[in-house]
Amino acid sequence: MNKSKISDITGIPYSTLSRILSRLNHFFDAKREGKKRLYRESQINLIEKIRDLLNEGKNYDEIYDFLSENHAQYMETVSEEGTVTIHSGEPPRMYKAIEIIANQEKEIKELKKRVALLESKMESERIDLLKEINEMLLEFMKNNR
């Protein structure tokens, strides 16, 4: 499928999708027909994970490094008819691994937020309790004079 269709499916703006596909082109299995590049539907998960990483504040260099460590890069071949195909070994397994890692990162961030919220709540309750104890002690001391 072409970039326009991928943009429609994922909701990623066409310009952002073009930037992702051009800056991280080594990680996509694309078939070139004339001036068009066609991508496999199975690569939508990878595109969405890259979008999520961008939304988390990662830059393209960081994403490239992350994918280089966790993903097989693709090689271009040209057929006798002039069709260029970019392919590699087993990308679906790599996509699944990236998906699992991205989901774990989201869960970790959510858990960190919950822990921070609970710590804040506990600190607030501790302060309130200490104030109450101090007030009770002052009242006790006043009554025992």
Domains of the chain: 3-120 (1.10.1660)
Q: In what order do the strands lie in the sheet with 36-39?
A: 36-39, 30-33, 84-87, 75-78
Q: Find the distance separating the first CA and the last CA of the chain, reported in whole Å.
A: 86
Contact between 109 and 53 (Cβ < 8 Å):
no
C-alpha distance from residue 127 to each of 64, 83, 117, 118, 139 (Å):
46, 70, 15, 14, 18
- CA-based max dimension of the chain: 104
Q: Residue 92 corresponds to which tokens in the numbers above?
A: 């679906």
What pLDDT tens digit does each residue of the chain (145 aa) get? 899 999 999 999 999 999 999 888 878 878 888 888 888 888 888 899 899 999 999 999 888 888 877 655 554 455 666 655 544 444 556 666 777 888 898 899 999 999 999 999 999 999 999 999 999 999 999 998 7
